[in-house]
Each structure stands twice: as C-alpha cells, then as structure tokens.
Amino acid sequence: MSRVQTAKSQQNIRSIEEELEHQIKKSGLLDADRKNFYNNAEETKRKNNEIIEQLKKENRDLKKLQDELIANKRGASASLAKTQGAFISWSGDIKDENYWRRKLDDAKHLTKAKKERLIQLQDKLNEVSDTKFGVPEESPLMRQIRILENNLDKVMIKYNEAQSIRKTYEQIVKRLKEERVGYDNQLAAIERSLKGKEHDYEELLLLAHDATHAKELAQAELKKYEHKKAAVRELRKTYLDAKRKAIEEREKVIQKLEKREKDNVQTQVEYNTSNIPIQESSNPNVDTNIQKQKLADYEEAFHKLKEATGFRDVNDIIQKFTSQDETSKSLSDLKGEYQDKIEQLVTERQKLRDHLNDLKYEGGEALTRKQIDEIENNVNNAINKCERTKLKYERVQKILVNVKAGIEHLYEKLEFFKLEGKANIVVSDDTLVEGLSQVVEKMKLILQLIKNDASYRAQDFKQTWKDFNKEHIDQFINLNLRDNNIKPENVSRNIRVRIQDKEDDDVSDGEIEDDIDQEVTAKLKQKYGAQAKDKNAKKLNKPNKK
C-alpha cells in the first residue's frame, strides 16, 4: 500500500512539474511572439517611412524633369529651324546616302525613346499629382487598400503564431529526443532509490518493533523494581518496628530492674536497721556485688544494642531509617522529572516528523529532490544524535545514582563518629556535597586516631589480598549481611563510582555494565579484606589488653 501511495505521489509530482514547464514554455513563446510582432511593426513602420521619403524625393525629381521638359519644348522649335537650315545648307555636301539614312534612323530611334521617356514621366507626374492632392478616403480604392492591409496584418499574426508554435514543438521534440537517451538510466536510478527506501522502511519497522519490545521490557523491569522496593520498604518497616519494640522492652526491663533494685535497697536498709551490728559490716559488700552485676547487665544490653544498630544514640537509630524514605522520595521525584523530560523530547520528535512529512508531501512544487534528501539526512542525523544523547544521559544518570548511593552508604557507616561543631545531617540531593565533605573529614580523623594509637603496627596493614581465601571472604560477607540485616542480592549496590575524566559517547552499555561488575567485585574484595584486617588486629590487641 505504501508503494502504491509513493508511486502515485511521484506521478502527481511529475505531472505537476511537466505542467509547470509547459506553462513556462508557453509564456516564453507568447513573449517571443509579442516581441516578434513588435519588431515586425517597427520594421514595417520604418519601411513605410523610407517609402514615403523615396516618393517625396521622386516627386521633387519629377518636378525638375517637368520644368526641364517645358524648357526643352520652348527651345525645340528654334533648334528644328536651325537643323532644317543646316540640312539645306548641307544638302549640297551629301556624299553618301546610306550615311545620312543611318543618321535619320538614329534620330528617329532617339526621338522614340524620348517620347517613351516623356510618357513615363507624364504618368509619374499624374500619379504624383494624384498623391499630392490625395485620394478620397471613402473611395473604393482606399477601402480595398484598408481591407488588404487588415488581411495582411491578420495573416502576419497567424504566421507569427504558427512560427512560434512550430518552434515550441521543435523544442519539445528536441527535448524528448534528449530525454529518450537518458530515460532508461533515470528509470533504473528511480528503481534503485525505491528499493533503498523500501529497505530503509523495513529496517525502521524492525527498529520500531525492537523499541516497542524494549519499552515493554523496561516497563516490566520498572514494575519489578517497584514491587521489590515496596517489599524492601515493608521489610525495613517491620525491622524498625521490631527494633523499637525490642528497645522499649529493654527499657521496661531496665526500669523493672531499677525498681527492683530500689526495693532491694530499701528492704536491705530496713533489714540493716533491725539486725545486729555484726551483720552491718557485711552488707556493703553484698550491695556492691549486686550493683556490679547490674552494671554488667546494663553494659551487656547496651553493647548488644550497639552491635545490632551500629549507633549509640536512640535518635540516631530512628533518624537512620527515616532518612531512607526521604532518599527514596527524592529519587522518585527525580525519576518523574526525567520521565517528563523524555515525554517532552518524544513530542518534539513527533512534531519534527510531522513537519518533515508536510514538507515532503505537500511542498512538492517548492522543494526539489535534493533539498528533500538534505532534510531527510538532517533528520536522520538529529535522530542519531538524540539516541546518542539519550544513551549518554542514561549512563550519567546511572553514575549519579551510584554516586549518591555510595555517599549515603559511607555516611551511614561513619555516622557513629561525631565531628566537633557539626551535627549529623540527613543525606539528600541538597546536602549531598556537605555529607561527602563530612565523610572525608571523618575518615581523616579516624585514620589519624588509628596512627596515634599505641597498639598501631604498620606491618599488620601491609598484608595483601592473597592471604585471604574464599572461605574468609564468604565468612566476612555473611557477617556483614547478618550484622546489617541486608539481603545478599543488595550487596552489589554498595559500590564506589569511578568518574570519567572526559566524555566517551562511543562506549556501549555492555562495556559499562562489565566495568561496573568489575568495580563491584574489586570494591567488595577491598571492603571485606579491610574488615578482616580490622578483626585480626582486634584479636591481636585483646591479649595485650588482658
């Protein structure tokens, strides 16, 4: 169906172009006829002026001849008398008859020629006199002359039109002969371009199917992540509720112990006041033992709380879990913003495609094939650039999310260490830089404290990764997950992000994922290796303290 529509549109464009060329040629021929008619009129006018000047000149010459003839007639009689007298006087001198006969014949011939010349001059004189005094316009001769002139003008106009039409058809025939030579090549080129367009259409159709499939997969993955996020949130909520209940129960137990201790002290005081002085000397030792036992119980309970939560303050424990909801909220807001931006870019792309179709199918008379190809190339370049920018944006967004997650993870790990003059903050998009600066300061201070410790030995920290086997790694991973109550599949999210020095648009997504997996593996090895070193150092320090 698309091929038929394309062929029809090309035929319509071709017919419109041929009609336009025909109209241009016709207007050019009409202009040529108009110019020829004007030139012919000017030429006729010039010739008429020349004829008039020639007739005027001939009129003047005829007048001169008329005057000369009148003068000749007056002197003819005198010359004739002289001739007769001379003849009489010469008669006696005639020697040869034939000679004089020839003379007579010559004179007769000359006289006859003069008479004929005279008749011609008289006729011309009569014509000139008639022309001078004019012929009545209503005379049949003038009417006939005007009719003949009108007929001559009509015939000349028709002749010029016929000549212009003949030239037009000659040019058409010449153009058809020229086009006949390259018609086969043009037809083959058009067929090749049509096949290329069909191939491009099939490729675009496949790309559209792939894009639709990728979109469906992305939506399914998004739903999966949303369900997973909801499950993790519920799990954290239950975990937080359980911890709060445990803390409340322990507080109740502590209150009961304190109350029981007060009651015991009171009863002991009453008992001491009622008993003998010998027993009074032994009661302080019993009280001190009870107090030591209670303090040991308190220290053990506090130590268990600290190991379970990683913090010493109850407010810090609550703040840790409440800040995670704010982080997820900020990420969801950022996701909505980027989704709106993507929809805006999609609408702009659709508008550009509609504008391209309008220019391609409605502006056939104004645009040539070359301009349409240039527009298509520009659109394809813009689409490719948009795709590259989109991939680059997705990579940068992924890196940004990893950076935020890494900073939040580091801040949570170092939240137990308090800076002087600076309070703990909730890490969000606005306080990300400040949180990173606090993490750097805390790490510097912790490193300085470790170096200043008397039990610090540099050789303990020079142990390489080769000293730890896979069993140690699994052990530390399990310990870390059990201490923080994190699922193993979420460990890969705790990574450090490597920021590139320059943009690289040619890197594929597969290469980026491989790099991320390698970084995850390396960072996990470093992390659990450091934990193992720390644990070994603690084990070494315990006997010294004892």
**What's the average model confidence in pLDDT over 133-139?**
56
Q: Is the pLDDT of residue 371 over 80?
A: no
pLDDT, residue 519, reads 57
pLDDT, residue 445, reads 85
Evaluated on CA atoms 145, 148, 153, 156, the torsion sign reads negative
**What's the average model confidence in pLDDT over 22-47?**
78
Q: What is the dihedral of CA 156, 162, 164, 169, to 10 degrees?
A: -170
Band the pLDDT of 171: cuts 50, 70, 90.
very high
Q: Is the pLDDT of residue 527 over 60?
A: yes
pLDDT, residue 490, reads 41
> How many CB atoms lie under 10 A from the CB of residue 421?
5
pLDDT, residue 165, reads 93
pLDDT, residue 424, reads 77
Name which residue leads in pLDDT, 355 or 79.
355
pLDDT, residue 21, reads 79
Q: Mean pLDDT across the chain, nearest whole number?
A: 72
Band the pLDDT of 470: cuts 50, 70, 90.
very low
Q: Domain coordinates of the chain in residue numbers?
A: 2-90+97-186, 329-452, 454-546
Across 172-181, 200-209, 215-224, 312-321, least confident range: 312-321
Rounded Cα–Cα distance for residues 461 and 47 (Å): 121
> How many CB atoms lie under 10 A from the CB of residue 193?
12
Please tell me the chain's helix, strand, coil percentages from 3-state DSSP, rounded to the nearest 5: 85, 0, 10
**What's the average model confidence in pLDDT over 201-207?**
88
Token reading at 121? 């001059």
Band the pLDDT of 194: cuts 50, 70, 90.
very high
Band the pLDDT of 426: cuts 50, 70, 90.
confident
pLDDT, residue 169, reads 92
Band the pLDDT of 168: cuts 50, 70, 90.
very high
pLDDT, residue 520, reads 54
Name which residue leads in pLDDT, 350 or 276.
350
pLDDT, residue 360, reads 65
Is the whole model's pTM more than 0.75, yes or no?
Answer: no
Token reading at 480? 């870390």
Name which residue leads in pLDDT, 465 or 113.
113
Across 177-181, 267-271, 347-351, least confident range: 267-271
Q: Is the pLDDT of residue 429 over 60?
A: yes
Is residue 374 within 8 A of residue 469, CB to CB? The reply is no
Most confident of 1-15, 82-96, 463-477: 1-15
Rounded Cα–Cα distance for residues 480 and 501 (Å): 33
> How many CB atoms lie under 10 A from the CB of residue 232?
15
Percentage of residues of the chain with pLDDT beyond 90: 3
Over 391-426, what HEC string results? HHHHHHHHHHHHHHHHHHHHHHHCCCCCECCECCCC
**What's the average model confidence in pLDDT over 136-155?**
81
Band the pLDDT of 541: cuts 50, 70, 90.
low
Name which residue leads in pLDDT, 209 or 517.
209
pLDDT, residue 486, reads 37
Name which residue leads in pLDDT, 253 or 314.
253
Give me the half-sphere count of Cα atoms (radius 13 Å) on the Cβ side of residue 389: 9
